[in-house]
Amino acid sequence: MRLEIPTNAERFGANLFYEVQKIYELEGGYGTDSEFDSPFHVIQQIPYERLYEIEKDLAIVIPVKDERLRLLEGVLCGIPHNCLPIVVSNSKNEPIDRYRMERNMVDTFCRHAKKKYIIAHQRSAELARIFKDGGYPQILDDQGLIRHGKAEGMLAGIALAHLAGKKYVGFIDSDNYFPGAVFEYVRIFSAGLSQGKSPYSMVRIQWHSKPKIVDGELFFTKWGRVSRITNQYLNLFLSHYTGYESEVLRTGNAGEHALSMPLALSLDYSTGFSVETHHFVSLMEKFGGVLPSPIPEIMKNGVEVFQIESRNPHFHDAAKGDDHIQEMIEYSLSVLWHSSICPKSLKKDISNELSRLKIVSKKEEPIKLRQYPVLSSLNFTAAAWKIDWQEHGNFSPS
């Protein structure tokens, strides 16, 4: 891959938020081109062999909930062979057992592709056992099973990736219509992670565009309704502490993102659709220098956040309605409002925004979402189970 060198960045404590990088070539060639050795070059080459090394250690978590099987198969098709796909499904078991259908499709696909994989139902007792035995009960409900929600499925995926020995973990939504876009996302993950100088790094994708039909013609919108609002208030949050107006944060709702495993295990998480926005909140609270950091090692090494713009348009299932959009806005802004370091002036602005959108009245506080502690507090050794690679890559609890 050939893309811009990440030069301009906003520093906030130990966090380094790089501006969005532009891709020039999706395929950068095999071997290193000596032309890029010049210190004055603004474009860098990341050769295929470097991407290959990252992908061998990369798990791709795919949260699924009652998705069309062909869409899920297309996502699997787009994931490079060396990566480990981890499907965490919260699909219905009745009246039709959709999870069984997903499991059969994934098994058949991966058997034909000779590809290892993990698939688990989010509400399975076996998956809950990891967290129960590991001393992480916060994610379990009154039935002793993992709670419903996308964030909970992502946490389960990180735990599975760590147990599988992976050094990196990425996330891709299951409602993507273009396998080529999925392939590009994973390559962006690999390219971004390869740039990290710190063991604590994150890559977040800014979509090139989101196509929609307007007056019978295809129109490529740059920003979604949720992203536009979330990014605005994230940058106001950041600007309050830096003292300079900033627009550096462009990926507040990036469902497609990847983390080095040490960073993934060191962040707090928030439930629902706030999970991606809460990444930034957690980084600024824990490593921004405003509050004492619970992890001095990260303060010493620093955190690098790369934002890279894709070339493929992002075309996904957009039939979820305005209520879904309103919920995403509320959840995203809620984690900012309830942050322990959110300034009063910004709280007021967020409340006014939610009132203007008729999501929350002026006299109400935004919803306070459940938060989960760092996954490093989970005792993986005590989690009495094992991943047993069988003939086609299934796993079974011990």
The domains of the chain are located at 2-319
The model carries a pTM of 0.93
Give CA–CA dist 45/131, Å, rounded.
Answer: 41
Buried b (16+ CB within 10 A) or exposed e, 272-305: bbbbbbbbbbbbbbbbbeeeebebeebbebbbbb
Determine the pLDDT at residue 222: 66
Strands (E), 160-317: 168-171, 201-206, 210-214, 217-221, 257-260, 269-270, 303-309
Asked whether 58 and 84 are in contact (CB, 8 A), the reply is: yes
Give CA–CA dist 65/63, Å, rounded.
Answer: 7
Determine the pLDDT at residue 9: 94
Query: What are the tens digits of pLDDT across the range 117-150?
Result: 999 999 999 999 999 999 999 999 999 999 999 9
Architecture category of domain 2-319 in CATH: Alpha-Beta Complex (3.90)
Determine the pLDDT at residue 149: 92
Confidence of residue 7 (pLDDT cuts 50, 70, 90): confident
Kindly state the tokens that stand for 211. 């196509």
Give CA–CA dist 334/231, Å, rounded.
Answer: 13
Q: To 5 degrees, how large is the angle CA 346–CA 351–CA 355? A: 145
Give CA–CA dist 230/246, Å, rounded.
Answer: 14
Which SS3 state, helix, strand or coil, does residue 15 take?
strand
Query: What are the tens digits of pLDDT across the range 326-340?
Result: 999 999 999 999 999
**In Å, what is the CA distance from 281 to each residue of 166, 196, 223, 284, 326?**
25, 21, 21, 5, 20
Determine the pLDDT at residue 363: 84
Determine the pLDDT at residue 315: 73
Asked whether 91 and 65 are in contact (CB, 8 A), the reply is: yes
Q: How many CB atoms lie within 10 A of CB 193?
A: 25
Query: What are the tens digits of pLDDT across the range 204-220?
Result: 999 887 766 666 776 66
Query: What are the tens digits of pLDDT across the range 8-47?
Result: 999 999 999 999 999 999 988 777 776 666 666 788 999 8
Give CA–CA dist 174/179, Å, rounded.
Answer: 11
- Whose tokens are 């309605």? That residue is 321
Least confident of 52-61, 137-146, 375-384: 375-384
